[in-house]
């Protein structure tokens, strides 16, 4: 447990602003995805919800998403040496403030008070678990599957015993139930060093002006915490302006744990059946030919390739061949591979005018084309493999990409229903398994595009990067 008090100067907001925190990738959940979920927000004390997730809650209100708030304690121990206010009186005050704050964030707040003792949540995990399971069951009764129920809780390594107990309970429930988890740091911003790498795997939720105003109003409603109870010793302000600056940013920061696939996730062997069914009855199920998003992503992918021309190109997961045509025109020979025979038939027709291009019906990584390549493209396919299969795919890439060759990776960053991995985890695995030089990285809310270069002949691969911490830090 970290040792600190609210009186510590801690890490100033200037240090966090200079750290690159504002350049974190965006949370990959768009308005439609947010609106279609149920969120259970857990707060150890009144004000946690406003500080850590007030902007998120304001957005969910505007989208009409289902939000339930579980308040565990009244925060009666915030001023243990107060000469003017007893813990019982402070509990009453803080509960009123909590209701007032929620009114700024949610139109008709659904919140439940667990009435557990402040500072002792670790000893009351069973009560927290029971309340959390009841809220999850209520959301499920409304017809929502497990993966569309997201828990929002204090960061499980926040340094405050109540925050850590509540965050750990939420993480356990999310993992066991297959739910998403958003963890919000609070005291971490005070005691952590901005040079620490923990936060670099977190995600950012940009807030619009209305969301920032709602959050500021909610924070201000917690008067007993943002102003002194009186001018006497023991009644000092608990959350001074310098600390509140961490929560006045134009974004909120979360550690994100995507919903885990339950009941057996798909793997490579399932791909042919799944995607043949998708392509039945339509030539372009993903709107590759009509969507501006797809046109733009394809153009960025092609522009990111460092070479104008390549001797031998390989595309893994070519689908109907829209990217394949552009890649083949830059390659002396080109092989397009897909597990779906239905999709591959469309790709073969698109490539028919290019004599150096061929298609192969293969399920990677179990199957792999012969030959060596100086360009391999893995686009929108890595998350359709189990983690062990993805590791084998990168081993295949390592064995067949020529020295100095280019590996291009591009993947959607949103959750993939029914599959264990997502885009960010695919790219993290590539860096971890290969340890190759990174020749370019582009990332936005919807997708990540990355180019890696194989070591030159006789050269040693770069040391594998230290594993990027997951949401659990």
Element (H, E) at 428: helix 423-434
The reply to whether 208 and 137 lie within a common domain is yes
Q: What is the pLDDT of residue 462?
A: 42
Structure tokens at 22: 């504002």
Q: What pLDDT is attached to residue 286?
A: 61
**Burial label, 292 (beta-carbon count in 10 A; 0-12, 13-18, 19+):** exposed
Pair (290, 253) in one structural domain? no
Do 244 and 384 lie in one domain? The reply is no
Output the pLDDT for position 282: 64
Closest to 153 in 3D by CA, of 138, 137, 169, 136: 169
Given a contact cutoff of 8 angstroms between Cβ atoms, the answer to whether 103 and 109 are in contact is yes
The whole-angstrom separation of Cα 57 and Cα 105 is 6
Structural contact between residues 205 and 24, judged by C-beta atoms closer than 8 angstroms: no
Q: Is the distance from CB of 69 to CB of 112 less than 8 angstroms?
A: yes
CA distance 125 to 300: 49
pLDDT at res. 280: 56
DSSP assignment of 297-331: HHHHHHHH-S-S-EEEEEEES-TTSHHHHHHHTTE
SS3 241: helix
Backbone dihedral angles phi then psi of residue 334, each to the nearest 5 degrees: -150, 135
Together in a domain, 360 and 310: yes
User: Does the residue 101 lie in any domain?
Assistant: yes
| Residue 235, in any domain of the structure | yes
Q: What is this structure's pTM?
A: 0.73
Here the CATH number for the domain that contains residue 231 is 3.40.50.10320
331 and 286 both lie in a single domain: yes
Q: Is residue 462 part of a domain?
A: no
Question: Over the chain (473 residues), what is each successive 10-residue block's mean pLDDT?
Answer: 69 95 92 95 98 98 96 97 97 98 94 97 96 96 93 96 95 91 96 90 95 98 97 95 97 90 55 55 69 93 97 95 96 95 89 95 93 96 91 97 98 83 93 95 94 83 38 34
Which residues make Cβ contacts (< 8 Å) with residue 241, sequence separation at least 6? none
Tell me the C-alpha distance between 128 and 358, whole Å: 58
Residue 74 in domain: yes
Helix ranges restricted to H, 142-239? 161-177, 188-191, 209-221, 223-226
Classify strands 331-338 and 357-361 as parallel, antiparallel or unpaired.
Answer: parallel
Residue 7 lies in a domain: no
Tokens representing 156 are 């499980």
Closest CA to 335 of 302, 379, 298, 368: 368
DSSP secondary structure string for all residues of 190-207: HHS-TT-SGGGG-EEEE-
**Residues 128, 38 share a domain:** yes
Q: Does residue 473 sit within a domain?
A: no
Residues 430, 409 contacting (CB under 8 angstroms)? yes
Domain identity same for 279 and 165: no
Place of tokens 């960053």: 413
279 in Cβ contact with 340 (< 8 Å): yes
Cβ(281)–Cβ(342) below 8 Å: no
* Paired strand residues for 453: 406, 437
Domain endpoint, select from 257, 276, 300: 257
Say how many domains are in the chain. Answer: 2
Question: Nearest CA to 106 among 154, 153, 68, 139?
Answer: 68
236-238-242-243 Cα dihedral, nearest 10 degrees = 170
Residues 178 and 75 placed together within one structural domain of the fold: yes
Quick one: DSSP state of residue 422? -
Q: Closest by alpha carbon to 50, among 114, 107, 99, 17?
A: 99
Q: Are residues 128 and 252 in the same domain?
A: yes
Question: Is residue 160 located within the same domain as residue 302?
Answer: no
Kind and range of the H or E run holding 3: none
Residues 6+ apart with CB under 8 A from 135: 40, 68, 70, 112
- CATH number, domain of 387, equals 3.40.50.150
Burial 299-328 (b: 16+ CB within 10 A, else e): eebeebbeeeebebbbbbbbbbbbbbbebb
Full domain range(s) for residue 388: 268-453
Residue 289 is predicted with a pLDDT of 78
Inside any domain, residue 149: yes
The answer to whether the beta carbons of residues 23 and 53 sit under 8 Å apart is no
Question: Which residue among 224, 257, 290 closes a domain?
Answer: 257
Residues in the chain: 473
Q: Is residue 471 in a domain?
A: no
Q: Which two tokens stand for residue 70?
A: 């579980």
- 306 and 356, same domain (yes or no): yes
Neighbours of 9 (CB within 10 A): 9
pLDDT value of residue 275: 54
| Last residue of one domain, picked from the residues 222, 257, 292 | 257
341-351 vs 271-279: helix crossing angle, rounded to 10:
60
| Angle CA 57–62–63, to nearest 5 | 95
Encoded tokens for 420: 């264990």
Q: Are residues 173 and 225 in the same domain?
A: yes
């Amino acid at each position: 447990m970290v040792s600190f008090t609210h009186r510590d100067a801690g890490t100033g907001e200037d240090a966090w602003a200079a750290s690159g925190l504002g350049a974190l990738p965006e949370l990959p959940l768009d308005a439609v995805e947010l609106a279609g979920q149920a969120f259970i927000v857990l707060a150890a004390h009144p004000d946690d919800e406003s500080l850590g997730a007030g902007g998120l809650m304001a957005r969910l209100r505007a989208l009409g998403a289902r939000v339930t708030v579980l308040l565990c304690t009244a925060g009666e121990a915030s001023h243990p040496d107060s000469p003017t206010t007893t813990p019982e009186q402070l509990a009453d005050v803080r509960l009123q403030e909590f209701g007032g704050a929620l009114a700024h964030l949610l139109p008709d707040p659904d919140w439940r008070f667990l009435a557990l003792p402040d500072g002792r949540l670790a000893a009351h995990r069973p009560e927290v678990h029971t309340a959390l399971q009841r809220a999850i069951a209520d959301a499920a009764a409304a017809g929502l599957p497990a993966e569309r129920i997201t828990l929002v809780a204090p960061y499980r390594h926040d340094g405050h015993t109540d925050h850590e107990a509540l965050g750990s309970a939420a993480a356990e429930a999310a993992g066991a139930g297959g739910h998403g988890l958003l963890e919000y740091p609070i005291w971490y911003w005070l005691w952590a060093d901005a040079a620490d790498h923990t936060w670099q795997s977190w995600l950012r939720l940009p807030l619009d002006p209305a969301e920032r105003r709602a959050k500021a109003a909610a924070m201000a409603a917690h008067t007993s915490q943002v102003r002194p109870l009186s001018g006497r010793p023991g009644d000092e302000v608990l959350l001074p302006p310098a600390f509140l600056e961490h929560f006045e940013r134009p974004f909120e920061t979360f550690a994100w744990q995507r919903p885990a696939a339950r009941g057996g996730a798909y793997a490579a062997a399932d791909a042919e059946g799944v995607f043949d069914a998708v392509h039945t009855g339509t030539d372009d199920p993903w709107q590759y030919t009509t969507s501006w998003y797809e046109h733009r992503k394809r153009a960025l992918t092609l522009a990111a390739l460092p070479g104008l021309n390549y001797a031998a190109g390989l595309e893994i997961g070519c689908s109907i061949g829209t990217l394949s045509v552009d890649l083949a025109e830059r390659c002396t020979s080109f092989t397009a591979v897909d597990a779906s025979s239905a999709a591959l038939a469309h790709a073969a027709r698109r490539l028919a005018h290019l004599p150096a291009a061929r298609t192969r019906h293969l399920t990677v990584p179990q199957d792999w084309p012969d030959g060596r390549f100086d360009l391999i493209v893995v686009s929108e396919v890595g998350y359709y493999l189990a983690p062990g299969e993805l590791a084998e795919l990168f081993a295949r890439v390592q064995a067949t990409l020529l020295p100095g060759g280019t590996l291009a990776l591009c993947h959607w960053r949103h959750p993939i229903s029914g599959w264990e991995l997502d885009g960010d985890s695919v790219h993290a695995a590539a860096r971890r398994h290969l340890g190759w030089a990174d020749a370019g990285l582009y990332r936005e809310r919807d997708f990540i595009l990355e180019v890696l270069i194989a070591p030159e002949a006789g050269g040693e691969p770069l040391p594998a990067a230290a594993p990027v911490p997951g949401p659990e830090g």
